[in-house]
């Protein structure tokens, strides 16, 4: 057990020295990997931010039900009773027309326009949360509500949110495809680096084999090297994305001030960051493993 730890520690130390001994080559490799990884990871970050934004706007299954302008108090009560007993309705909120007008006045700087109106043009309304978010269930519900007396208009609020969701889904697929392609790049870069290392360390490998080194022992520093380089590439990607977001967030905050909203692009959360680093380290390891397994056979002492 102790010998095992010592061997791994030695391999690690050896690997670090090897990285440091060729700083320019290592740095370039790490940059290539970082940039390759930052493309899909950066796109993922943007998608996540869009997703969060659409979540803020509310993508719960909601239906707005507007009564006719001439609906009486009794009509409102009747509709409310029917909603209460409807099995598909989870929750509803009544918005009286006076309150809707007051909201409008307060909200969007339309006070002048509203003041100029002779009468309230807004109807009474219900905001209905459906029990099921499924598209066809919502469609059925809204069609049914439309048949009720004194109901002027029924609107599915979630239509655009679902459209956005579908777009995001497509974007995610694109990111996945891009990530897969660029993962190959990372493996290929490592493969080539390790191939060169195996060739330049031919003598060393040969001697080690002659004095009883197992393939595992010989492979170990190369695997560490690949994983370490991959990890560094992941860190580089993380930093590149961070810099990119910092660059975007400046103008974005100015823009969002103009719209009186707060828009801010967030970096990857901790768990996703760790996944990124773990994945890039694994890819480096994989590239090194493929390379060293292939090229070690060519170095045979004679």
Partner 1 sequence: MISFSQVNKRYPGGFEALKNISFSVERGEMVFITGHSGAGKSTLLKLIPAIERPTSGSLLVSGQNVGAMRPGAVPYLRRNFGLVFQDHKLLFDRSVFDNVMLPLAIGGFETREAARRARAALDKVGLLEKERAYPITLSGGEQQRLCIARAVVSRPSILIADEPTGNLDSAYASEIMDIFRAFNQVGVTVLIATHDEAVLERMKPRVIRLARGALLP
> Which is nearer to partner 1, 108 or 207 (by Cβ)?
207
d(CA 228, CA 284): 7
Cβ neighbours of residue 88 closer than 8 Å, sequence gap 6 or more: 130, 131, 132, 137, 140, 141
CB 252 within 8 A of CB 240: no
> Which is nearer to partner 1, 211 or 258 (by Cβ)?
211
> Which is nearer to partner 1, 22 or 178 (by Cβ)?
22
> Which is nearer to partner 1, 129 or 206 (by Cβ)?
206
Question: How far is the CA of 301 from the CAs of 11, 205, 216, 270, 298, in angstroms?
Answer: 22, 9, 17, 48, 10
The CB-of-190 to partner 1 minimum distance in angstroms stands at 23
The CB-of-1 to partner 1 minimum distance in angstroms stands at 10
The CB-of-193 to partner 1 minimum distance in angstroms stands at 18
> Which is nearer to partner 1, 109 or 212 (by Cβ)?
212
Residue of 32, 42, 36 whose CA lies nearest to 175: 42
d(CA 234, CA 240): 10
CB 280 within 8 A of CB 37: yes
What is the contact surface with partner 1 in residues (CB under 8 A)? 2-4, 6-7, 10, 203-204, 206-215, 217, 301-302
CB 69 within 8 A of CB 123: yes
The CB-of-3 to partner 1 minimum distance in angstroms stands at 3
The CB-of-287 to partner 1 minimum distance in angstroms stands at 24
């Amino acid at each position: 057990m102790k010998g095992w730890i010592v061997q791994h520690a030695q391999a690690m130390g050896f690997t670090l020295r090897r990285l440091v001994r060729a700083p320019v080559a290592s740095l370039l490799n790490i940059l290539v990997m970082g940039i390759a990884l930052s493309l899909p990871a950066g796109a993922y970050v943007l998608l996540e931010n869009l997703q969060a934004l659409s979540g803020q706007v509310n993508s719960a299954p909601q239906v707005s039900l507007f009564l006719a302008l001439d609906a009486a108090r009794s009509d409102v009560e009747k509709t409310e009773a029917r909603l209460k007993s409807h099995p598909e309705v989870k929750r509803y909120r009544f918005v009286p027309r006076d309150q809707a007008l007051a909201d409008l006045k307060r909200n969007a700087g339309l006070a002048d326009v509203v003041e100029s109106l002779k009468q309230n043009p807004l109807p009474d309304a219900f905001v209905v949360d459906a029990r099921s978010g499924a598209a066809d269930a919502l469609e059925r519900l809204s069609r049914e509500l439309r048949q009720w007396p004194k109901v002027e208009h029924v609107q599915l609020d979630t239509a655009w949110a679902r459209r956005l969701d579908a777009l995001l889904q497509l974007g995610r697929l694109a990111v996945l495809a891009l990530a897969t392609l660029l993962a190959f790049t990372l493996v290929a870069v490592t493969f080539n680096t390790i191939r060169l290392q195996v060739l330049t360390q031919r003598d060393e490998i040969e001697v080690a084999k002659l004095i009883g080194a197992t393939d595992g022992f010989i492979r170990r520093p190369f695997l560490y090297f690949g994983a370490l380089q991959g990890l560094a590439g992941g860190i580089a990607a993380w930093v590149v994305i961070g810099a990119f977001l910092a660059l975007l967030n400046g103008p974005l905050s100015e823009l969002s001030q103009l719209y009186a909203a707060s828009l801010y692009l967030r970096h990857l959360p901790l768990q996703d960051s760790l996944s990124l680093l773990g994945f890039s380290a694994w890819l480096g390891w994989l590239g090194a493993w493929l390379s060293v397994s292939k090229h070690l056979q060519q170095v045979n002492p004679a």
